[in-house]
Structure 1
Amino acid sequence: MNQANHTALIVIDVQNEMLDEANPVYNSAEVIRNLRSLLSKARSEGVPVIYVQHEEGPGGSLVPGSEAWEIYAEIGPEGGELIVPKTTPDAFHGTVLHEALRARGIKHVVLTGMQTEICVDTTCRRAFSLGYGVTLVTDAHSTWSLGELSAEQIIAHHNRALRWFAKMQDAKDVSF
């Protein structure tokens, strides 16, 4: 079996709120281009694509059914691709993600999405701790600036720090 039979592409929290024209995440146009390319490649090779969708309760901005909560249409799921709802930064905690990956025989995950320092970081570390091989696509995750740290600094820092948990690759270099 080739690696593609054991690999899944995971798209974390790429929801309308993160790409709102009034306040999009850093470098959003490039991130979406890279995600579209990865999705096309994964789908053409039969690699499972799994979306993770954050949801909050009343008063939050990501309330299920709201426009902000919806997965960004340009990179949305096709033909029965799994959507895993979550309520914490960890895409595995209290969700079906681990069971869904195991049921598909997945041993390696390629991670993309939003927010670098929260959900992407936490999910990357947890996937590693659960024994998955992990690739973090360095130019297919993003965030906003936070206080004195620019989004670019946050992303660069996490791309360095998460090397202990994941193989780092640019989107153009990812092979399934």
Structure 2
Amino acid sequence: MMKKALLVIDVQNGMFQEGNVVYDGDRLLKNLKELIVQARSSETPIFYIQHNGAAGHPLEYGTKGWEIHPDITPNNQDVIIQKATPDSFFNTSLENELKKQRIEHLIITGIQSEACVDTTCRRAFSMEYKITLVSDTHSTWDSEDISAQQIINHHNGVLRWFAAVSPSKDITFNS
């Protein structure tokens, strides 16, 4: 059996700013909380990926916006990885931490579907991890041309080349 880990990418306060909340943010948090409870009850490691934005960015390092959302607060067993690019592996300790725990299968969630979630899925695939993208537990914002839901749907389709894509209700951590 492959050892799994839950990756929670960039679910930080700055993604939930009044007037500019990530698409369907309440559902995202609800689904994430349920996955986190499941992961903890099965002793599956949880890795929080925290983006360090530059001065003035909604995720500016050290600010309230940079903090992990309080609805999904990490505990002492969870690993927090700091990053500065869309790739959760690039110039971070993620790969070393995963290897230390002999993780082979990544369950990927988070924000932003077309940036950090997409890039991390593709990079993990290239690094030969088995990947599951949780289809209803990643999100983004509307673009000029298409809606956030269309972006999410598109990435759920495209990323099937790199990951199994499943809704949160079908995710299990014990098998």
Q: Partners in 2 of 1:147 and 1:21 — Cα distance?
A: 20
Which residue of structure 2 lines up, in the alignment, with residue 102 of structure 1? Answer: 99
Which amino acid letter does the alignment assign opposite residue 99 of structure 1? N
Query: Do residues 148 (structure 1) and 139 (structure 2) align?
Result: no
Structure 2 unaligned residues grouped into runs of 5+: none
Structure 1 position 35, deviation (Å): 0.2
Residue of 139, 151, 154 corresponding to 2:136: 139
Structure 1 position 65, deviation (Å): 1.3
Q: Partners in 1 of 2:167 and 2:56 — Cα distance?
A: 37
Identity of aligned residues (%): 47
Equivalent residues in 2 for 1:50-129, closer than 5 Å: 50-129=47-126
Structure 1 position 38, deviation (Å): 0.2
Residue of 36, 39, 43 corresponding to 2:40: 43
Structure 1 position 57, deviation (Å): 2.3
Q: Secondary structure at the match of 1:139?
A: strand
Corresponding residue pairs, total: 173
Q: Partners in 2 of 1:37 and 1:59 — Cα distance?
A: 32
1:86-132 CA deviation, whole Å, 9 max, x = no partner?
Answer: 00000000000011001100000000000000000000000000000
* Alignment RMSD: 0.9
Q: Partners in 2 of 1:13 and 1:76 — Cα distance?
A: 12
For normalisation by structure 1, the TM-score amounts to 0.96
Q: Partners in 2 of 1:73 and 1:31 — Cα distance?
A: 13
For normalisation by structure 2, the TM-score amounts to 0.96
Query: CA contact under 8 A between 2:15 and 2:58: conserved in structure 1?
Result: no
Structure 1 position 78, deviation (Å): 1.0
